Structure 1
């Protein structure tokens, strides 16, 4: 087996350093070409195309009556999920709901900018959203909760779930239970580029939606790019990625354990341990094979591929400044800070989807139960994009009101600027002519 990568930053070739910042979906050119015929077929043939692609890509035989999950399937799912899992779903749902309810703005906010002149915002939910829950590498009820709960809290009228079925034509039982727990009963058995096309155009079975959110494969991301003129593609959320920073106050075996959290998602994930400590680096390298002994063969394979490939491993920095320069350039989806004094590093972080501080805050908690949203910007988008939130499912309208006493001062200055810019109608609308027309 190839050794786990160890990348010393000092003296690293600039091109090689840049390559460490690359993610799987950074170049979508191949996928963009491949999804075009899928999109066109769904546009022309609707549900029939979905049935064909579900058979081809998911190995599931569906018909027009089974594309949407039935009430009986919801009932069956409840009997398949054990009490422990049900309790965990309810626990996570409560925390996620509480976190996002605190984000929801007041319906109307106004301020008086000048005497008698008021400006503000009125907040409204968007009309519809499709929440994508991937299936290819596992079953993810947590993804449903992270995507759908803030939409429900925001007040979106129509929240639908898109998720690929298994070969048996069924949706993961825990995912259905999570949907029902949060008041969602529209779940559709389709995935990939075809699912994006279906809600972008609408079919006889699937509704046309205003927005689509959720992580997915490069094919799904490419389809969102193609169809961004028809449906809001949401934040960029591609394959999982993380950086674990560990200073010299922690055990390298702990850093290794947390490094594997996002690395096990799939061979297209990205995961780095960044440290200034050679001891931590060597302890981590030694501990990783021991951690693999308690993981399934599939998850070991995925994480080995990541940590020995071009998008993972251990990054050794000469000093703290160099370490955080790399971290900020990378702008990770997940950033975990392992230290006995983790808070002292928070001020050094500019770019990250989420920051988990301390030895008791592994990404596992953030991914499932803490409440903060685990649908996070990937591929460096965390430099300018925030995690999924209630505001992703809301918009606001500017609202303004000027009273009779507030008008003269506003009109005087507005007329000067309108005249300077050559807009005659603008100037006329705030001239003395207005007084004679107001009743």
Structure 2
């Protein structure tokens, strides 16, 4: 049984404390070097490279350039392959996700009269084409399909396409196809990893070029997004899963341990910490883990044991809850549970978290699958500047200005004064008396 990492903040040197917040994708040098040849191959060879790389990396034996796009028959067959109870759960989750994101959608346009006769505002229109990345390396994730597809559909993006790795049989996960169709996306490509990012960035004979890509992925995907940022908008930084369970003395340590394992089971590159000021909670959590691991599938138990015994996971004991909250803000987690019977007492102290789930009845599981807020979240301290994936990520904002004859003189005078001060003669001429003479004809 793995020995779980236990840290006490009071005894840590600054360098050791800093090491606790480090993520698996902080240093991408290993992946950047190895990803570049993949991107070059896709740019040069297109579909041929995608099929070859699918056979090599995804073990999709027999995958050919003609197999890269999911067919209508594949979609229809998926509904026969997926348990009706799973289909119903997907439909239920999509309903809540759609309801939540419809509330996010901005008004198409607003204008405010900033001065008499002068109007300014914004107009929102959907991005023309967005690719949705759905990972598969450590499992199948129809929930990611739900979370990426629904806001894009609500935003009205005319060209939405999913890229996801094929399995060894060369097929896309059936539940992913069910989720795509129920969400309203009918274009799915059997392409994953760094090569998928290259495919939608450059376009191929089969894969349509996109202006943006969203969705979580491995460090290989993160590295590809970084290298292609000048070709395609890489969206918010979404890498391997990470979470903090912030627990006070009002809850069971076993409950905290159970929720700690939620994100830890994603893979050995995940990050997961239980942060508490209670020695009792810490001890109960450590004692509960062996039993919880025995209830998990062997692979997921192994993943979470590696996380909690390594440098990116375990139990952190703080001096008090103020210290615990300060550590959370320093960490800027993707997922944060405030596990307490009085969670709102701590909410005001948290400023750096992408998702904040309040109370013992709001585990990350519910948020990931069914509640409605988006579970595609910034990682690697991205929460310090980014928020969750939203409808706005699928829209572009244009500023709108309209000045009437009545409003023109006072704005022109101010603009001319500043233009002359900054030395822009053409700016100044455009709002000089010469304009008035042209307007009079």
Report the TM-score when normalising by structure 1: 0.99
The aligned counterpart of 1:401 is: 402
SS of the residue corresponding to residue 66 of structure 2 reads coil
- In structure 2, what is the equivalent of residue 80 of structure 1? 81
* Residues 389-411 of structure 1, C-alpha deviations (whole Å, 9 max, x = no match): 00001011111011111111111
**Alpha-carbon shift at residue 64 of structure 1 (Å):** 2.4
Following superposition of structure 1 onto structure 2, how do residues 301-340 of structure 1 map, counting pairs within 5 Å?
301-340=302-341
CA distance in 2, matches of 1:345, 1:322: 12
Equivalent in the alignment of 1:59: 59
| C-alpha distance after superposition, 1:256-305 (max 9, x if no partner) | 00000000000000000000000000000000111111100001000000
Query: Could you say which residue in structure 1 is the equivalent of 2:356?
Result: 355
The structural deviation recorded for 1:2 is: 3.7
Alpha-carbon distance in 1 for matches of 2:155, 2:256: 37
Shift of 1:434: 1.5
Q: Please name the residue that 2:125 is paired with.
A: 124
Name the Cα RMSD after superposition: 0.8
Number of residue pairs matched?
439
Which residue does the alignment assign to 1:244? 245
The Cα shift of 1:436 comes to: 1.4
Distance (whole Å) between structure 2 residues aligned to residue 245 and residue 15 of structure 1: 22
1:416-435 equivalent positions in 2, closer than 5 A: 416-435=417-436
Matches within 5 A, 1:105-184: 105-184=106-185
What CA distance in whole angstroms lies between the structure 1 residues aligned with 2:413 and 2:246?
A: 57
Q: Distance in 2 between matches of 1:421 and 1:132?
A: 46
Aligned to 1:49: 49
User: Could you list the per-position Cα deviations for residues 291-337 of structure 1 after superposition, in whole angstroms to 9, with x for gaps in the alignment?
Assistant: 11110000100000000001000000001121111110000000000
| Deviant stretches of 4+, over 3 Å | none
TM-score under structure 2 normalisation? 0.99
Alpha-carbon separation, structure 1, partners of 2:408 and 2:226: 46
- Give per-residue Cα distances to partners, 1:177-233, cap 9 Å, x unaligned: 111112211100010011110111000000010001111111111011111100000
* Separation in structure 2 between the aligned mates of residue 11 and residue 59 of structure 1, nearest angstrom: 47
Q: CA deviation at 1:11?
A: 2.0
Give distance in 2, aligned partners of 1:3 and 1:423.
67
Structure 2 counterpart SS, 1:26? coil
Work out whether residues 150 and 184 of structure 2, in 8 Å CA contact, stay in contact via their aligned partners in 1: no
- 2: CA distance between counterparts of 1:140 and 1:42? 25
1:25 maps to which residue? 25
1:206 matched to 2:207? The reply is yes
Q: Where in structure 2 are there 5+ consecutive unaligned residues?
A: none
Larger CA deviation: 232-241 vs 60-69: 60-69
* C-alpha distance in structure 2 between counterparts of 1:422 and 1:114, whole Å: 26
Matches within 5 A, 1:91-106: 91-106=92-107
Instruction: Give me the whole-angstrom Cα distance separating, in 2, the residues matched to 1:183 and 1:416.
Output: 53
- Aligned position for 1:268: 269
Matches of 1:186 and 1:422, distance apart in 2: 52
Distance 2:355 2:318 in 1: 22
